[in-house]
Amino acid sequence: MKNTPFRKIALGVLVTLWCTVSASANPEIAGKWQLDIPRSSPLSGWQDMALVIAVDGTEVEFTHQMRWRRTNYRATNVVDTSKTVTSDAFFRVEQRHMAVYPTKGGLSHTTAEWIDADRTLRTETQTMVEISQGDVPMRITSEYRIGEGAETLTWIALRSSRDRPLVYVFRKVKEKDSE
Amino acid sequence: MNRFMRTSFLAILALIIGSASAQANQGRVAWVMNFDGDWNVAGGLPEKAMLISLQGLANRDAPRLYIVHPPDFQWEITGPVFEFYQRKHHVDFTDVATADDALTLFKQYAKGYVVWDKTVGASLNVAFTIAGLEDAVVVSADLIALVEQHGLTPIDDLRGRYTDMSDAEIYQDAYDRYWDRCIKDAVMLMGGHRGRVMQPAMADWGIQRKMFFHDLSANPIHPVELALTKRLYEEMEPGSTVFGWHPYGKDTEEQATTLLSGYGFKMEGLHNLPNLSFNSQFTFTEGFKFTNNHNVERNAVLQAEEKVYICFVQSDSIGIGVWTKPGRGLLPFGWQVTMNWSRYSPAALEYFHESATPNDYFIGGLSGPGYMYPNHIPADRFPLLMEEANDLMTLLDERVLEIMDNSAADGNVGNTDLTKETVDLYYENFPDVIGFLNGYGPSRTRDLRDTRPMISYDYYIDPKRPREAVTNDLNELIKLNAKRPYFLLVHVRESNDVNSLVEVTKNLNGPVEIVPVDVFLKLAASNKTYTTRYQDPDEPKHFEGY
């Protein structure tokens, strides 16, 4: 394949874009965030939630720490602002009192981007869920909005199947508090 | 009335109690006490425990003493059923105001007293066992003077006997001393509330029938207690019943029920279900026949339209929760009847029947002739138990069976599915039902064989969930399940109220119709838009049992 001037320019643009995306990851999103239950949409089938978020270049890793009675459950989703991430174990904060389950063996595809001057990470996931009538697709659009001073994180999740978004407000857990 | 006159009057009343016991159901006399809501060990519990033990003795051969609890007690129906006894059984009740009065009236049924140790909770259960075997009233130290004023003498004193001993050690000692003399077709798992509050309202029944009382754990983190529980069960008769409830904080409902189901036993609770020693001595009133509000003929064939069909069911045993809440009758509602109450509390069942609105429909449950987890019932016990269930359903004019197996669940979430083998057994053993309901929390076991669908709950209404969120959840299910007809079965947890559900239904999207259970199942048989599914062995099971 010839290394034409056009290819060089295109490659340069791509590299610049990649660098921009990489550089724009807002490190303020990293850390542990504890759900502010009174200010959030009510959970159902879970009693508490915390998010532990780690940033590594273009990758953002969300570990959901869920609690239900004596059961503690951990599930991690990884998104990448430079590419679509495919997962066979995507975790959805489901309303567990609804008969809506992850499809067995189903794959989920997630894209992510920083928007609003890097104050918001927006993700979009296409996933499959099992309902009583079989398997159907669900789209989940999420925005993780970093509050002023990075004291709060607001996660707004809108599902293609639900007309109203779920809004979860988190407070940053100081390091000394999480020890 | 001064004390002397009052005591004399009560003594004369006591003399006529004996003759009253010979009367037939119609037109008998009886006595009633009103309890308050104080079950604190440091407060009202000791006196209540004494009175409940006295109730068990007084009611041993005739229904003499009934207890009415406040409306906010978990079993909210004691007042309405009390009124029912007066109206339909013509029971002429006399109020008993104090424990002193109760002893005056009923001391003749006690041979003495046994003292329990308020610092050792398990000693109360041992005392209840002794009470049944020795005809003793159960007292704490501070009540000794009262019972001695009535001429009762000590039979046993547990103070100090169990100090610093574990529950396993205490019940092993009780087993060694008393188990041989206790009945073997029933045991009293007097668990539930533990610690500063205890609610042993069912103790009258265990005392009347001379059961062994315990609150042993079915949790494998308590291996000695679990082993002793198994030993009890192994020495009990086939088809036995475990009365009471699991001990809060020691094990879970799932662990306790899974364990007893594995022996083919039935659970009948809760620990605070009152008055069985009284209720069990009545039959249905003369000429009464249980007739359900069937909306379709058993062999009717219906055709579903392109709609969303919603069906509401309350399955936490009729008598707790929604029945007396405002709004009942405004929506078609299915009510899971604890079928064994036809033996233990016929008047309560008759009360439900007579107070039912045309929108109230009774279904059988739970899983069989008592509360049990069918995935764990031994294969050789299953047909016998289900024959019993069929007989009860016939008696109660019920055509729908509700099934629940939470052995792999985590409370009201998680895996509540039935194995295919279990589903096969239900279809084989219930040829005459019009269908089955399954689950507690949401579940996904579904089937349709001949005209009998098996439908699981697609939604569980948490009473604490805001109604707007419930509405949004249901609308989401309606959107996801886009094929029409869609059959949306909803479990209404106890302590919800129907009025709030009426508001929810007004805000649902699409061509929604709320239908009664029997209509729902007939429609679900006509167009199978749901998948056939059983418990998948690969799916996670939350099971912390043995």
Q: Tell me the C-alpha distance between B205 and B279, whole Å.
A: 10
In this complex, which of A68, A161, A162 lies closest to B410 when CB atoms are compared?
A68
Please judge whether A96 and B476 are an interchain contact, meaning their C-beta atoms are less than 8 angstroms apart.
no
Read off the pLDDT of residues B514-545 as tens digits, 9 standing for 90 and up. 999 999 999 999 999 999 999 999 888 887 66
Angle at A25 between CA A19 and CA A30, to 5 degrees: 150
Task: Render B43-111 in DSSP notation, one character per residue.
Answer: TTHHHHHHHHHHHHHHTSSS--EEEEPPTTSSSTTHHHHHHHHHHHS--EEEE--SHHHHHHHHGGG-S
pLDDT at B23: 46
Cα–Cα distance, B323 to B496 (Å, whole number): 10
Nearest-angstrom CA–CA distance, B150 and B186:
32
DSSP states of B283-320 = -PPTT-------SS-TT------SSEEEEEEE-S-TTS
Digit-coded pLDDT (tens) for A58-79: 999 999 999 998 889 999 999 9
Q: State which residue of chain B sits closest to A94, comparing Cα positions.
A: B473
- Asked if residues B418 and B403 have their Cβ atoms less than 8 Å apart, the reply is yes
Q: What is the DSSP string of A116-133?
A: TTTTEEEEEEEEEEEETT
* DSSP conformation letters of A61-79: EEEEEEEETTEEEEEEEEE
Task: Categorize the per-residue pLDDT at A23 as very low, low, confident or very high, splitting at 50, 70 and 90.
Answer: very low
Residues in chain A with CB shorter than 8 Å from the CB of B414 are: 96
Asked if the model's pLDDT at residue A48 lies above 90, the reply is yes
- The CA distance from B12 to B340, in Å, is 37
Find the DSSP H helices in B115-218: 121-134, 144-149, 167-178, 203-209
- Residue A179 pLDDT level (bands cut at 50, 70, 90): very low
Q: What are the backbone angles phi and psi of residue B199, rounded to the nearest 5°?
A: -130, 65
For residue A131, give how far its alpha carbon lies from the nearest alpha carbon of chain B (Å).
7
Pairwise CA distance, residues B345 & B275, whole Å: 9
pLDDT 10s digits, B263-284: 999 999 899 999 999 999 999 9
**Among candidates B411, B441, B481 on the partner chain, residue whose Cβ is nearest the Cβ of A132:** B481
Question: What is the nearest CA distance from A88 to chain B, expressed in angstroms?
Answer: 15
pLDDT of residue A4: 65
Listed as ranges, residues in chain B with pLDDT below 50 are 1, 9, 13-25
Cβ-proximal residues to B277 (8 Å cutoff; 6+ apart), any chain? B55, B56, B59, B60, B63, B204, B205, B207, B208
Instruction: Rounding to the nearest 10 degrees, give the CA dihedral for residues B320, B251, B199, B322.
Output: -10
Q: Nearest Cα to B238, choosing from B267, B210, B266?
A: B266
**At B459, is the secondary structure helix, strand, or coil?**
strand
In angstroms, the separation between the Cα of residue B274 and the nearest Cα of chain A is 29
Q: What percent of chain B has pLDDT over 90?
A: 86
Is residue A137 within 8 angstroms of chain B, CB to CB? no
The pLDDT assigned to A10 comes to 61
Contact between B480 and A97 using a beta-carbon 8 Å cutoff: no
Please identify among residues 370-429 of chain B the ones whose CB lies closer than 8 Å to any CB of chain A.
410-414
Cβ-Cβ contacts under 8 Å, A44 against chain B = 462, 465, 469, 473
pLDDT at A11: 60
Q: Distance between CA atoms of B439 and B409, rounded to whole angstroms?
A: 10
In angstroms, the CA B234 to CA A26 distance is: 64
- Tell me the C-alpha to C-alpha distance, in Å, between residue B354 and each of B84, B174, B351, B364, B467: 10, 44, 5, 18, 31
The residue type found at B250 is K
Encoded tokens for B4: 């002397």
The token pair that represents A19 in the structure block: 């660098």
- Minimum distance, in Å, between the CA of residue A110 and any CA atom of chain B: 20
Asked, as a colleague might, if the bond just before B103 is cis with ω within 30 of 0, I would say no
At A104, is the pLDDT very low, low, confident or very high (cuts 50, 70, 90)? very high
Of B413, B481, B530, which has the smallest distance from its Cβ to A68's Cβ?
B413
CB contact under 8 A, A44 and B465: yes
Q: Which residues contact A69 (CB under 8 A, 6 or more apart)?
A: A47, B410, B411
Selected for mutation to probe chain A from B413, B448, B470 (highest A CB count within 10 Å) is B413
Q: Nearest residue of B to residue A45 by CA position?
A: B413
